[in-house]
């Protein structure tokens, strides 16, 4: 089974104080820590588990500058066999659609049974790349997959998560794109020794020309959406900031909850 | 696995073990956990395949208190064998999720608590400390510790220590946001590669600012910088050593405290580094204090279960927490304050005071916090 997994390197923003940059169309990335997008981590793990079960190879693909090699190496250390990095000044400013198009050009000439992506990215949260990629490759897709039950005779049985805790079970013909939900597995730890072991592995680099693409097919010209402005949500009413030591703050919280009927 | 097994065999001289059982006899978790360190010594020797062994949950029960190694009459290192087993598990990658998070945090943010790097020195915002990377000059580096830097409870220990240092005129600066995890727990969780990375980073800072002397909040940082980094010409001391020295002669902490105090020996300070007297000297020097020792104290002190990565993973056993036993003993002895000198001990013991419902009877305090009350 030949599996391709598309991954993205994203800034980790949960603990950081975000600042909007001068263009007002993005955040300051300086000083932020980058790592693999959480959903993609589950996708890589799932790809490796499938390989361990059914044999074959796993190819990790990502788009972006040289730093992205770090994320690809991480995938190699988890057990991927090959890595491809797509990079070109012409790719900059691509929206989900343009990214899917670049990915589709890179994936098209490869042999594959399955393409896995994360459901969405932590940074922009669009969730478009997977389904759009499937359309552009002309193959089936299932989004928000939380279990791959089995693969047999060129068909896969997968579960997808619906609202209210319902599971939908789908039987589909391969090749296909599956967008992977967090929690589908337990991604393994990647040790520093593991990363050192793959430090010399080749990462194939492809640009606009290598993919036979024209300037207007990627980047902002090739996108269907443009980010005009990024801003913090306006400060609303009703928030109350509590000050003091941990103990004082906890006492105040309990008093408020009691007063408002939250606890007896 | 075959090659790895042979490596463990050689490295830890497993043929030298004569199964006397002194290691397991002293192990604080053996009574309640499936972990049996003596059995581990022989199992690694006899088993064909270690794959299943390294998956066992109880490997994560060890607190790396080192009692087993210190007691072995053959001079073997059972604790390090266990860490070696964890290392195999880490390399293969299937380890508890909470351990993964701690390790990834140490890699990404330089601390196992996954807190932002640029907030590391926020605890000292109003203290106007000298900071080496900001041009500060001082004779000593105060190495704060991730837990003292980020944990809202333990931050008070750092602040108290700063007051103590100022009171005795001890000249120090910190590394500010450039301090990274010392790697003590990382190494003991079996992530040797990451430990080396963190160590190299800290040594680089130490050399860059030409630091010759370090004082630490935590016995864990103390132990690892002193014994694992083992840099020639670098003096490493725990804060209790500095303060004990300072109170000889004219004691700058002259206030009174009419309390019954007992002291819990942190494994990494006491057992592992022989610092038993200094903390006691400090406590006994306070006018009004009645000092009493635990039955199990000094070399025989009971581990609080905070070491060896246990701050980041629940034990697989169902038995009582050792910290709860410790707290109950303190209450039964009539102690009003349970003093300690380690961030992990402080947290585990304070938790235990709450879970055993002894909040009215017993206060858990770091020695530095007690001193601030008698300034
Ligand atoms: S104390 Fe030493 S010799 Fe005795 S069983 Fe343990 S490891 Fe073996
Ligand atoms: S280090 Fe301590 S907890 Fe771990 S096996 Fe040895 S005695 Fe037991």
Output the pLDDT for position A160: 95
Q: Which residue has the tokens 């860490």?
A: B83
Contact between chains at B193 and A190 (C-beta distance less than 8 A): no
Residues 6+ apart with CB under 8 A from A210: none
- Domain-embedded: residue A260: no
* Ligand 2 centroid, distance to A45 Cα (angstroms): 33
Identify which of B31, B2, B11, B24 has the alpha carbon closest to the alpha carbon of residue B76: B11
- Ligand 2: which of B65, B307, B317 to mutate, judged by most atoms within 8 Å of the beta carbon? B65
Per-residue pLDDT tens, chain B, 375 aa: give them. Answer: 778 889 999 999 999 999 999 999 999 999 899 999 999 999 999 998 898 899 999 999 999 999 999 999 999 999 999 999 999 999 999 999 999 999 999 999 999 999 999 999 999 999 999 999 999 999 999 999 999 999 999 999 999 999 999 999 999 999 999 999 999 999 999 999 999 999 999 999 999 999 999 999 999 999 999 999 999 999 999 999 999 999 987 888 889 999 999 999 999 999 999 999 999 999 999 999 999 999 999 999 999 999 999 999 988 887 889 999 999 999 999 999 999 999 999 999 999 999 999 999 999 999 999 999 998
Contact between chains at B118 and A196 (C-beta distance less than 8 A): no
Nearest CA in chain A to B102: A189
Residues of chain B contacting residue A242, judged by C-beta atoms under 8 Å apart: none
Mean pLDDT of A206-220: 96
Does residue B153 sit at the A interface (CB-CB below 8 Å)?
yes
Nearest CA in chain A to B86: A191
- Ligand 2: which of B80, B82, B185, B187 to mutate, judged by most atoms within 8 Å of the beta carbon? B82
* Ligand 1 centroid, distance to B37 Cα (angstroms): 8
pLDDT in tens, A149-196: 999 999 999 999 888 889 999 999 999 999 999 999 999 999 999 999
Q: What is the CATH number of the domain that holds B29?
A: 1.10.1060.10
pLDDT, mean over chain A: 94
Nearest to B116 among A16, A78, A186 (CB): A16
CA A156 to chain centre: 22
Total domains in chain A come to 1
Mean pLDDT of A129-139: 98
Three-class secondary structure of residue B136 per DSSP: coil
- Domain-embedded: residue A71: yes
pLDDT in tens, B265-314: 999 999 999 999 999 999 999 999 999 999 999 999 999 999 999 999 98
Work out whether the CA dihedral B228, B229, B233, B238 comes out positive or negative.
negative
Interface of B with A in 183-202 (CB under 8 A): 191-194, 196-197
Identify which of A93, A166, A111, A107 has the alpha carbon closest to the alpha carbon of residue A137: A107
Q: Does B112 share its domain with B47? A: no
- Domain-embedded: residue A96: yes
Residues of chain B contacting residue A192, judged by C-beta atoms under 8 Å apart: 107, 191, 193-194, 196-197
Output the pLDDT for position A128: 95
Q: Does B214 share its domain with B102? A: yes
Residues of chain B contacting residue A191, judged by C-beta atoms under 8 Å apart: 90-91, 93, 191, 193-194
Q: Give me the percent of chain A exceeding a pLDDT of 70.
A: 100
Say which ligand is closest to the CA of B86.
Answer: 2
Does residue B359 sit at the A interface (CB-CB below 8 Å)?
no
Contact between chains at B107 and A31 (C-beta distance less than 8 A): no
Q: Which residues of B304-331 are buried (b: 16+ CB within 10 A; e: fewer)?
A: bbbbbbbbbbebbbeeebbbbbbbbbbb
Identify which of B120, B98, B93 has the alpha carbon closest to the alpha carbon of residue B109: B120
**pLDDT of residue A263 exceeding 80:** no
pLDDT in tens, A114-125: 999 999 999 989
Q: What is the CATH number of the domain that holds A119?
A: 3.40.50.620
Q: Does B72 share its domain with B133? A: no
| pLDDT bucket at A237, cuts 50 / 70 / 90 | confident
Q: Which residues line ligand 2 (CB under 6 A)?
A: B 26-29, 37, 62-68, 78-79, 82
Output the pLDDT for position B2: 78
Among the candidates B223, B244, B265, a domain finishes at B244
Helix axes A129-137, A96-107, angle to 10 degrees: 40
Contact between chains at A15 and B116 (C-beta distance less than 8 A): yes
* Ligand 2 centroid, distance to B305 Cα (angstroms): 10
Contact between chains at A15 and B196 (C-beta distance less than 8 A): no
Q: Does B120 share its domain with B74? A: no
| pLDDT bucket at A43, cuts 50 / 70 / 90 | very high
Among the candidates B182, B209, B244, a domain finishes at B244
Torsion angle in degrees (nearest 10) through CA of B121, B123, B126, B128: -40
Are A95 and A223 within 8 A, CB to CB? yes
Identify which of A145, A183, A178, A148 has the alpha carbon closest to the alpha carbon of residue A161: A145
**Number of neighbouring beta carbons within 10 Å of residue A135:** 13
Contact between chains at B92 and A188 (C-beta distance less than 8 A): yes
Output the pLDDT for position B363: 97
Domain extent at residue A192: 2-217
Among the candidates B92, B107, B127, a domain finishes at B92
Residues B153 and B334: their CA atoms lie apart, in Å, by 25
Side-by-side strand order, sheet with A114-118: A167-173, A155-161, A140-152, A176-180, A114-118, A2-7, A57-63, A82-86, A203-206
Mean pLDDT of A241-251: 87
- Name which residue sits closest to atom 3 of ligand 2, judged by CA: B62
Residues 6+ apart with CB under 8 A from A154: A113, A173, A174
Identify which of B316, B328, B167 has the alpha carbon closest to the alpha carbon of residue B251: B167
- Domain-embedded: residue A257: no
Identify which of B15, B22, B17, B29 has the alpha carbon closest to the alpha carbon of residue B57: B29
Three-class secondary structure of residue A258 per DSSP: helix
Identify which of A135, A106, A132, A83 has the alpha carbon closest to the alpha carbon of residue A209: A106
- Domain-embedded: residue A248: no
Q: What is the CATH number of the domain that holds B263?
A: 3.40.50.10700
Q: Does B21 share its domain with B143? A: no
Output the pLDDT for position A264: 66
Q: Does B78 share its domain with B135? A: no
Q: Does B46 share its domain with B171? A: no
Nearest CA in chain A to B94: A188
Q: Does B218 share its domain with B288? A: no
E-only strand ranges, B14-87: none
Residues 6+ apart with CB under 8 A from A164: none
pTM of this prediction?
A: 0.93
Q: Which residues line ligand 1 (CB under 6 A)?
A: B 17-23, 38, 41, 71-72, 74, 76, 78
Domain extent at residue B154: 97-244
ipTM metric: 0.88
Q: Does B234 share its domain with B355? A: no
* Ligand 2 centroid, distance to B30 Cα (angstroms): 8
Residues 6+ apart with CB under 8 A from B56: B34
pLDDT in tens, B111-155: 999 999 999 999 999 999 999 999 999 999 999 999 999 999 999
């Amino acid at each position: 089974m030949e599996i391709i997994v598309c991954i993205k390197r994203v800034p980790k923003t949960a603990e950081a104080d975000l600042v909007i940059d001068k263009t007002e169309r993005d955040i300051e990335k300086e000083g932020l820590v980058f790592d693999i997008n959480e959903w993609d981590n589950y996708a890589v793990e799932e790809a490796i588990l499938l390989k361990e079960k059914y044999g074959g190879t796993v190819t990790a693909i990502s788009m972006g500058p040289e730093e992205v090699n770090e994320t690809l190496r991480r995938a190699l250390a988890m057990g991927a066999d090959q890595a491809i990095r797509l990079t070109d000044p012409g790719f900059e400013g691509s929206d989900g659609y343009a990214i899917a198009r670049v990915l589709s050009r890179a994936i098209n000439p490869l042999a594959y049974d399955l393409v896995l992506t994360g459901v969405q990215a932590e940074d922009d949260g669009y969730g478009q790349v997977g389904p759009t990629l499937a359309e552009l490759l002309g193959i089936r897709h299932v989004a928000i997959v939380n279990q791959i039950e089995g693969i047999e005779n060129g068909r896969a049985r997968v579960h997808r998560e619906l609202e209210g805790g319902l599971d939908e079970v789908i039987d589909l013909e391969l090749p296909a794109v599956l967008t992977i939900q967090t929690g589908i597995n337990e991604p393994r730890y990647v040790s520093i020794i593991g990363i050192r072991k793959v430090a010399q592995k080749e990462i194939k680099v492809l640009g606009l020309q290598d993919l036979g693409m024209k300037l207007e097919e990627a980047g902002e010209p090739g996108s269907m959406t443009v980010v005009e402005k990024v801003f913090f949500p306006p400060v609303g009413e009703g928030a109350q900031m509590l000050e003091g030591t941990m103990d004082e703050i906890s006492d105040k919280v309990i008093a408020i909850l009691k007063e408002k009927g939250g606890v007896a | 696995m075959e090659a790895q097994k042979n490596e463990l065999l050689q490295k830890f001289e497993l043929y030298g073990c004569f199964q006397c059982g002194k290691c397991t006899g002293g192990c604080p978790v053996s009574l309640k956990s499936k972990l049996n360190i003596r059995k581990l010594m022989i199992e690694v020797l006899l088993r064909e395949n270690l794959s299943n062994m390294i998956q066992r949950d109880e490997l994560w029960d060890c607190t790396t208190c080192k009692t087993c190694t210190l007691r072995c009459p053959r001079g073997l290192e059972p604790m390090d064998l266990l860490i070696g087993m964890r290392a195999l598990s880490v390399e293969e990658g299937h380890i508890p999720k909470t351990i993964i998070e701690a390790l990834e945090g140490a890699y990404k943010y330089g601390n196992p608590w996954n807190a932002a790097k640029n907030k590391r020195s926020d605890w000292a915002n109003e203290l106007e400390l000298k900071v080496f990377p900001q041009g500060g000059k001082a004779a000593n580096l105060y190495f704060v510790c991730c837990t003292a830097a980020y944990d809202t409870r333990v931050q008070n220990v750092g602040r108290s220590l700063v007051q103590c240092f100022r009171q005795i005129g001890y000249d120090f600066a910190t590394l500010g946001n450039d301090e990274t995890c010392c790697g003590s727990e990382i190494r003991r969780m079996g992530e040797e590669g990451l430990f080396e990375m963190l160590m190299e980073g800290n040594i680089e800072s130490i050399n860059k600012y030409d630091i010759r002397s370090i004082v630490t909040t935590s016995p864990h940082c103390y132990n690892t910088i002193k014994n694992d980094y083992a840099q020639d010409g670098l003096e490493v001391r725990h804060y209790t050593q500095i303060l004990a020295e300072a109170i000889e002669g004219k004691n700058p902490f002259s206030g009174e405290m009419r309390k019954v105090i007992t002291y819990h020996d942190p494994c990494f300070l006491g057992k592992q580094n022989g610092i038993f007297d200094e903390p006691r000297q400090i406590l006994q020097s306070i006018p009004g204090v009645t000092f009493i020792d635990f039955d199990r104290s000094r070399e025989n002190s009971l581990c609080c279960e905070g070491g060896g990565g246990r701050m980041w993973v629940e034990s697989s056993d169902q038995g009582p927490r050792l910290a709860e036993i410790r707290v109950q003993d303190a209450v039964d002895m009539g102690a009003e304050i349970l003093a300690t000198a380690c961030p992990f001990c402080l947290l585990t013991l304070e938790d235990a005071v709450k879970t055993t419902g002894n909040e009215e009877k017993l206060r858990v305090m770091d020695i530095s916090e007690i001193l601030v009350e008698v300034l």
